[in-house]
Structure 1
């Protein structure tokens, strides 16, 4: 895949925006819309099914989550759409004139305030990008679930 195409999918931190639950063009949003459409007015059936299967008592919550996913609005981190408030990478990459954190001379830095799990992924992503290149990184992670 060409670097320009990769830039359209991967955030500066290395996470795949196209697989994010908040990405409006991603598979989670698309499939949530498809499932909502396929379910139609399943609410009435779910009420009947509750008598046989307890999980259907939570159908309203399930449908609310599906609507949340289906209504994704983010265009990706590079467009400033990141919903993660502790991410500096979404703007820092422009200031540092790099495409990915792993390409920055200051990587790893302390600008991001990621939680522990995300911090570990950011470090691993950046190190892989730094040592093996963005094309190899993309090939390695392409198609894998984000979560």
Structure 2
């Protein structure tokens, strides 16, 4: 099941979709997770699970003008919640107190139709998992990229990536030629697809972490390596949100760095 943005907007409404989009971009900007879309069964029309190595960060259920958010807190995570309790809204504290502890933890379930609980959800996610996303110097996402050496070893999807690059970037690169150690790799023999990237050279020269720290961002040099947002890719050829995430979102650096600049 691979929904499009239009189908999710139609299901949720703009107001609820805004909450989903904020949660989704926070998770994707912050955590190295896999996304799995599925049928929501009795809990919703569509289900989206964020997980890694068999451990679920949270699950979203999409319903008519409503978003269900499920987060399970285990024993150690409940200790962290107790330490940070006063930072949460009264509603979340009440929901937490009334939720029974099961064998695998507290199943916190929130049914939302606006963005009021966004800050609470972010705090719960930070309790659940320490941020671990890896960004390149221009804001690409190594751990999302199917060209990244570690991801190729785990699951080789270079054929699909090669097709996506040809369609959306007019880049003709055979699958077997696609492999990258990332711009932060310090090995002398490091292999990078964009070995002469001017943005990398500039970031190293300025001694900053990435382009978002530069007062000239977004400069003309950065824009030579700007990736496509979902909307821009969809204008070239319609793409569902799952395939965009799998093969193109790693390169949507401007949207990502814009959010970092704004402190989101």
**Structure 1 length as normaliser, TM-score?**
0.48
Larger radius of gyration: 2
Structure having the larger proportion of residues in helix = 1
Structure having the larger proportion of residues in strand = 2
Greater RCO, 1 or 2 (C-alpha within 8 Å, sep 6+): 1
